[in-house]
Amino acid sequence: MSKKKAAGTAKVHKKPLGIRIWNNRGFYVMLLPVLVFLIIMHYWPMLGIRYAFYDYKPVGEPVFVGMKHFNKLFSAPPFWTAFWNTLELSIIKLVITTVASVVVSILLNEMGNLLAKKILQTVIYLPHFMSWVVTASIFSLFLSPSATGMVNGMLRDWGILTDDMKNIYFLGDSHWWRPVYYVINIWKETGWGTIVSLATLSGINPELYEAADIDGATRFQKMRYVTLPALANTIITVLILNLAKVMNLFESVFVLYNDAVRDVSDVVATYIYRQTFMVALPNYGYSTAVGLFRSLVGCILVLVCNWLSKKVRGRGIV
Amino acid sequence: MKKKLLSILLATAMVATMAGCGDKTPADSSSASSSVADTQATAPAEPYNLETLTMVVNGTLTASVENRQDAFEEQWEAAVSEKIGHKIDLVIQQQDHSGYVDAVGRIFAGGDLPDVILMSADMYAQYAPTGILWDMTEAYENAEFQSRIELKSVNEAMKIDGKLYGFAPATGNGCVTWVKKSWMDAVGVKAEDITNWDAYYDMLTKFTTEDPDGNGKNDTYGVAAAGFVGFEAPYINYLPEFWQDAYPAFVQDDNGVWYDGFNTDATKQALLRLQKAYNDGVIDPESLTMGTKDVRTKYWSADQAGSFGAFTYWAGKWEQTVYDNFETNGVNTELVTLAPLAEVGAYLNREAPVWCIIDDGDGDNSREQAVFDAFIETMLDGDTVQMLWTYGAEGVHWSTAAETVTLKGKDGKEDTVKEYTEGQFHLLPSPNDPTTAWKSNAIDPSLVIAPLTNGISSVTDIAAKGNIFFSEHSVQAPKSASSETLTNEGGTLNDLKTEVITEVVTKNGDVDQWMSYYDEQSKSLVETILAELNQ
Amino acid sequence: MGRKRKKIKIFPIVNYALFILIALMIMVPIWKVIVDSLDAVGVYQFRFWPNKPTLKGYEVILTTKALFRPFVNSIISTVLGTLLGLILSTLGGYVLIQFDMPGRNFFSYMILFTMIFSGGMIPEYLVMKQLGLVNNLMVVVLKHGMNVYNLVLMRNFFEGIPQGLFEAARIDGCSPMGIFFKIVLPLSKAALASIGLMFAVGAWNDYTTVKIYITDPDQTNFQYKLRNLIMDGDTPNTQYAIAQNTLFNAAVMSAIIPFMIVYPFLQKYFVKGVNIGAVKE
């Protein structure tokens, strides 16, 4: 564990570097295949990052243009709206779907009946397999403001919407769009998110529960003092890993947003999509620059959270 | 902590050094095609011996692999080899219909250049100035089919500064408005009375309030569309009755001077019409969020609650598709095609996609001319090859043999059996669907610029009638503007326009206030673009 | 004592009620897809039962020859992608918990770095082209096999294995490879099952890689073909012997069904204490 390493005294007793490398030779060999794939699949294409500073089109040679693409990006006010929207939507979405999946997996773990548990597990994974396009068309149908919209119909039946009120346009109203977006995300990804937590839970030593039982712990005390701490490491790792992808938010927003709610829903990727929509001769330099910007933001978020995690609980994710 | 930092630095340095090594410039565009040229360009005086021809095409080549592309390819090779006097091999690279622009970009960036490529009007306008497309003006003027072209204007419109870099074998087609006949009958409206805006709007109102589907509830709409304005030219084509003479993009006036069509009184009036319709509930509010697929499904849904009466969509094949879906879903109605309202004048014909020949840049035209002769010249030969492009492969997609053709019945309905005599042209069942007859291949027979000379036509079905109706009631859409700033900043302008439109239409915004907002925000950008366009 | 018993009785009831509610909320939207896939007529609205029940949508999918090859391709790329993914992520994850190994931090960051930074689509395309992977199904295998996110997760699971076991094995003279096979893998069944599932589903659902790298119809996968089937609605000439809507929804369901068949076999690895059991054996 990292604690061992962190202890300053350990350094003094360490053997010479050469011997330590020799002692670990088996591990280097085992890492080799990973490194080979990593270099071929990731590092080699990374040479292309330099195009962020080029005009690079399908036809003709790349031309160096310095910071042109970044200047263009940063000088547009809608970009900054989109940037803050991206952070807000992604992070809130990440946190609530993670919390939801942890809660669901703990409750699922407490379920006694094996058959019910198995059926439920299968059911809650299903939405993950629906593409966003399909998901969006189903939810638009349910949330429709027209006379056939189910949710509006139910609100009327229950008297929440009275006769003098118009149907709610859930996806076309800035007040409603974000909550609805989060709900749809919870619907789609909570189940899938439980996979990792459930695998972690199955690794908890049953003796811990037995010991807690002997101490007379209640069900909730066991959840609080045995289950949750065991999950914490996994949850934090997953959260931090996902922070790297925060700026990549696209498809779920793209299929659900529209012109009327752009102020609350436009994200960087959708903004760039509209910006380049009319471009039939794409400038890969621009898209690389956008990609690099996204990566830098992701990088900062990961490093900051990793540092926080180290401060608070003495360990990061690597 | 220092160590961690060092590790990050090392990892970064590794990338940097790798980048420093430098790889070959990937966009080495001429190498792939010129290698072919090098081996072949031994005797420039003699006609170029083109042995393989690679074409890149999108989904419009309906003879896809699943639909017996092999037969199309084989028959094309046989027919063209005979015409040009030596064997030629056709390689078809069919890309997805969606994302075609990206796929073409990758092909070019990857350096494997094809010989011919299909491009939309937008792509054409942006690729032509790069010099990668061959100037085919001369070849086009001297083409054998010149004398038979009936619609000369189509390719004239594609010329850039008098030069033609791409060839359109057919006009671009456009949208017409259909109305459900049963709904008209239900609310007592006659098609011939719908000649102006007031009558049209009155009909829409009745569709909304007088329960045309007869389910006892007021849950229908007059009209619906995927968005209040389209993404692509000609932007207004899904709601022409509302936009009328407004054209919210850069257009040329009678003197050829460009101006911003959004910042006009006509657009303001159009927005007011949309606003009224939205407030009256005559236009389906979901037009804001629906895609074209949602609109179509809603139109022909088996349950007509929530559906709508007037639908503007692509003339021709789509009309047939709407009928087919009505039939499958048991929607019992015919479609009435509305003639353009007095205020509309005519429907809009969009700019046509074109076939372009790639210039290998070696200064010698013989290879490109050979590609033209083999590919474009034969495409409109009026006979064998044109038949391939129009209807597909003989004996697979169509036939003139004496035979009995059985179309399998849908859902246990009876088969349709038809007898044909020798020499009688008929379409065969689709290779991937034995219940429907094949319709046509890449070129629509009723949109082609030079008709078949062999007397064959299938102008009896709904699609062909629709196309003819359209060509009689349409004009060419305004030429799309193309300038560098417009290409790069068009997205910003579009955002501004859609913001104004949604604010006015769906949020009851004051039209004057929002139009001046647009004017303020767009001023400098519009001025730059107009300066580029009008230079 | 009595109080406590009461609590225990209430909890399962609440828990079951909650899950019935959750299951209902999840199933209602999916029910729309299921009903639509079984209805011969296309209906825009929601209803509980098909107007005109039919299995034709599934029949068309099963009998469309053009879908069979992609289905086989999907199975191949999913199996190979999962195997490669598990090999690389377990090897990588195992090495990264060797805190005494010189350069461990460097390698960790080097691996993590690729999760955040990428060369972008075109450079990746050009590299794959040079490797001969354009129009080659193996590109899907490689893209999914090398997944840093899963590697780090795997490492995280490995970290939970008691250190004492490693020490004991080392003293017994076990090589790193021996420890890997005798201790790490048997102790991580749940991790292998869940991360393997993530690899498999990722490869199975893959559409973008195919869209970018593959144009040869013989090399495409099922998911891609289904999407195209759906998108065909935009080119009116492609008709199938069934309402578009029916086919569309049957296609969506067809992509889920293989998972529903495979999943129950994996479920036994998600049971409490499965890993600990392995040690005692």
Domains of chain C in sequence order: 65-239 (1.10.3720.10)
Residue type, position B354, single letter: V
**Per-residue pLDDT, B484:** 84
Nearest to A195 among C98, C102, C198 (CB): C198
A-to-B residue pairs, Cβ atoms closer than 8 angstroms: 125
Question: Tell me, what's the pLDDT at B356?
Answer: 96
pLDDT at residue A146 in the model: 81
| Domain boundaries, position A262 | 77-280+297-313
Q: pLDDT band at residue A311, thresholds of 50, 70 and 90?
A: confident
Is C110 in Cβ contact with A38 (below 8 Å)?
A: yes
Please, which residues have CB within 8 angstroms of residue B44's CB and are 6 or more apart in sequence?
B364, B366
Could A42 and C276 be called an inter-chain contact, meaning their C-beta atoms sit closer than 8 Å?
A: no
A60 and chain B: CB distance < 8 Å anywhere? yes
pLDDT tens track for B125-148: 889 988 899 999 999 999 999 999
Percent of chain B whose pLDDT exceeds 90: 50
Contact predicate B367/B382, CB 8 Å: no
Residue A194 has pLDDT above 70, yes or no: yes
* Residue B15 pLDDT greater than 80, yes or no: no
What the block records as the tokens of A226 is: 């045995």
Q: How high is the pLDDT of residue B26?
A: 39
For residues B219 and B213, what is the distance between their CA atoms, to the nearest angstrom? Answer: 9
Residue in this structure with the two tokens 């519009």, named with its chain if needed: B526
Residue A1 counted as domain residue: no
The pLDDT value recorded for residue B412 is: 65
Rounded distance between C-alpha atoms, residue B492 and residue A276, angstroms: 10
The pLDDT assigned to A5 comes to 43
| A51 inside domain | no
Please provide the average confidence, as pLDDT, over all residues in chain B. Answer: 86
Touching chains, C (3+ CB pairs < 8 A)? A, B
Supply the pLDDT for residue A314: 77
SS3 B2: helix
User: Coil, helix or strand for B404?
Assistant: strand
Q: Which residue of A has its CA nearest to B521?
A: A77
C269: which chain A residues are within 8 Å (Cβ-Cβ)? 199, 202
Parallel, antiparallel or unpaired: strands B221-223 and B308-314: parallel
Identify any residues that bridge with A87 across adjacent strands, giving them in sequence order. none
For residue C5, pLDDT over 60 is answered with no
Statement: residue B519 has pLDDT above 50: yes
The CATH number of domain B30-172+352-390, selected from 1.20.1050.10, 3.30.2030.30, 3.40.190.10, 3.40.225.10: 3.40.190.10
The answer to whether residues A230 and A78 touch, using CB atoms and an 8 Å cutoff, is no
Alpha-carbon distance B30 to B34, whole Å? 6
Q: How many CA atoms lie within 13 A of A194 on its CB side?
A: 26
- The answer to whether position A109 is within a domain reads yes
Most confident of A274-283, B14-23, B144-153, C220-229: B144-153
Per-residue model confidence (pLDDT) at position C262? 84
Edge-first strand listing for the sheet containing B335-338: B221-223, B308-314, B175-180, B335-338
Predicted pLDDT of residue A256 = 92
Q: Which residue of A has its CA nearest to C15?
A: A107
Domain B175-349 has CATH 3.40.190.10: yes
Instruction: Give the helix/strand (H/E) hosting B33.
Output: helix B29-40
Two structure tokens written together for B245:
């003479």
Helices vs. strands in chain B: H and E counts, helices first: 19, 19
- Write down the pLDDT at residue C230: 66
From residue A104, give the alpha-carbon distance in Å to each of A193, A204, B46, C195: 9, 17, 77, 19
CB nearest to C237's CB, from B4, B302, B317? B317
The residues facing B117 across adjacent strands are B56, B356
What whole-number distance in Å separates Cα of residue A53 and Cα of residue A291?
12
State which residue of chain A sits closest to B305, comparing Cα positions: A148
Query: How far apart, in whole angstroms, are the C-alpha atoms of residue B260 and residue A295?
Result: 38
Least confident of B190-204, B238-252, B313-327: B313-327
Return the pLDDT at C143. Answer: 92
Pick from B11, B109, B314: CB nearest C106? B11
Q: Which of B102, B221, B491 sits opposite A275 (nearest CB)?
A: B491
CA–CA gap between residue A304 and residue C168 (Å, rounded): 37
HEC sequence for chain C: CHHHHHHHHHHHHHHHHHHHHHHHHHHHHHHHHHHHHCECCCCCCCCCCCCCECCHHHHHHHHCHHHHHHHHHHHHHHHHHHHHHHHHHHHHHHHHCCCCCCCHHHHHHHHHHHHHCCCCHHHHHHHHHHCCCCCCCHHHHHHHHCCHHHHHHHHHHHHCCCHHHHHHHHHCCCCHHHHHHHHHHHHCHHHHHHHHHHHHHHHHCCCHHHHHHCCCHHHCCHHHHHHHHHHHHHCCCCCCCCCHHHHHHHHHHHHHHHHHHHHHHHHHHHCCCHHHHHHHC
User: C192: nearest CA in chain A?
Assistant: A199
Tell me the chain B residues in contact with residue A268 when contact means C-beta distances shorter than 8 Å.
Answer: none
CB A257 within 8 A of CB A271: no
End-to-end CA distance of chain A: 11
Closest listed residue to residue B222, CA positions, set B198, B193, B201: B201
Interface test with C, best of A241, A251, A281, A300 (most C CBs within 10 A): A241
- What CATH number does residue A174 fall under? 1.10.3720.10
Chain B interface test: which of C32, C43, C44 (most B C-beta within 10 Å): C44
**DSSP, residue by residue, chain A:** -HHHHH-HHHHHHPPPHHHHHHHTHHHHHHHHHHHHHHIIIIITGGGGGGGGGEE--SSS--EE-TTHHHHHHHH-HHHHHHHHHHHHHHHHHHHHHHHHHHHHHHHHHT---HHHHHHHHHHHHGGGGS-HHHHHHHHHHHT-SSTT-HHHHHHHHTTSS-TTSPPP-TTT-HHHHHHHHHHHHHHHHHHHHHHHHHHHHTTS-HHHHHHHHHTT--HHHHIIIIIHHHHHHHHHHHHHHHHTTGGG--HHHHTT--GGGHHHH--HHHHHHHHTTT-SS--HHHHHHHHHHHHHHHHHHHHHHHHHHHHHHS----
User: CA of B220, closest CA in chain A: separation in Å?
Assistant: 8
Q: Which of A46, A59, A62 sits opposite B130 (nearest CB)?
A: A59
Structure tokens at B352: 């046509």
Are A241 and C123 an interchain contact pair (Cβ–Cβ within 8 Å)? no
Nearest to B27 among A44, A46, A62 (CB): A62
Which 3 state secondary structure label does DSSP give B239?
coil
Mean of the pLDDT values across residues C81-97? 95
List CB contacts (< 8 A) between A251 and chain C.
none
Contact between B65 and C40 using a beta-carbon 8 Å cutoff? no
Q: How many CB atoms lie within 10 A of CB B29?
A: 24
What residue in C sits closest to A191 (Cα-Cα)? C26
Q: What is the pLDDT of residue B460?
A: 55
CB spacing of A150 vs C99 below 8 angstroms: no
C-alpha C120/C-alpha B489 separation (Å) is 23
- C238, C240, C246, C252, best to mutate vs chain B, most B CBs in 10 Å: C238
- Give, for B309, the enclosing helix (H) or strand (E): strand B308-314
Task: State residue B36's pLDDT score.
Answer: 41
What is the per-residue burial (b if ≥16 Cβ within 10 Å, else e) of B484-505?
Answer: ebbbbbbbbbbbbbbbbbbbbb
Chain B CB contacts of C117 under 8 Å are 15
Give the gap in angstroms from C-alpha A265 to the nearest C-alpha of chain C.
23
pTM: 0.86
List, as ranges, residues 215-234 from B with C-beta within 8 Å of A: 217-219, 221, 227, 231
In the prediction, which pLDDT does C144 show?
93
Nearest C-alpha in B relative to A133:
B291
Q: Is the peptide bond before B234 cis (omega within 30 degrees of 0)?
A: yes
- C237: distance to nearest CA of chain B, Å? 7
pLDDT digits (tens, 9 = 90+) for A53-62: 999 988 888 9
Contacting chains of A (3 CB pairs or more, <8 Å) are B, C
Residue B7's pLDDT is what?
Answer: 54
Please state the domain count of chain A: 1
Q: CB distance C191–A199 less than 8 Å?
A: yes
DSSP code string of A60-119: S--EE-TTHHHHHHHH-HHHHHHHHHHHHHHHHHHHHHHHHHHHHHHHHHT---HHHHHH
pLDDT of residue B138: 93
Torsion of CA B439, B443, B449, B452, to 10 degrees: -60
Is A196 within 8 Å of C153 (Cβ atoms)? yes
Report yes or no: A153 at the B interface, CB cutoff 8 Å: no
B421 touches chain A (CB under 8 A): no
Q: Do B65 and C234 touch (CB under 8 A)?
A: no
Q: Are B249 and B261 in contact (CB under 8 A)?
A: yes
| Residues in chain A closer than 8 A to B29 (CB atoms) | 59-60
pLDDT (0 to 100) of residue B44: 45
- Long-range contacts of range C137-140, CB-CB < 8 Å, 24 or more positions apart? C137/C73, C137/C76, C137/C77, C137/C214, C137/C219, C137/C221, C138/C77, C138/C80, C139/C209, C139/C213, C139/C214, C140/C77, C140/C81, C140/C203, C140/C206, C140/C209, C140/C210, C140/C221
With contact defined as 3+ CB pairs under 8 Å, the chains touching B are A, C
Confidence of residue B264 (pLDDT cuts 50, 70, 90): very high
Q: CA A199, CA A195: separation in Å to the nearest integer?
A: 6
- CB contacts of B318 in chain C (<8 Å) are 236
- Per the model's pLDDT, the better-predicted residue between B318 and B136 turns out to be B136
- Across the range C217-246, mean pLDDT stands at 71
B30-172+352-390 and B175-349 share one fold:
yes
Residue A269 resides in a domain? yes
Element of type H or E holding B327: helix B317-329
Give residues with Cβ within 8 angstroms of B258, minimum separation 6: B250, B251, B252, B481, B530, B533, B534
Distance from CA of B141 to the nearest CA of C (A): 33
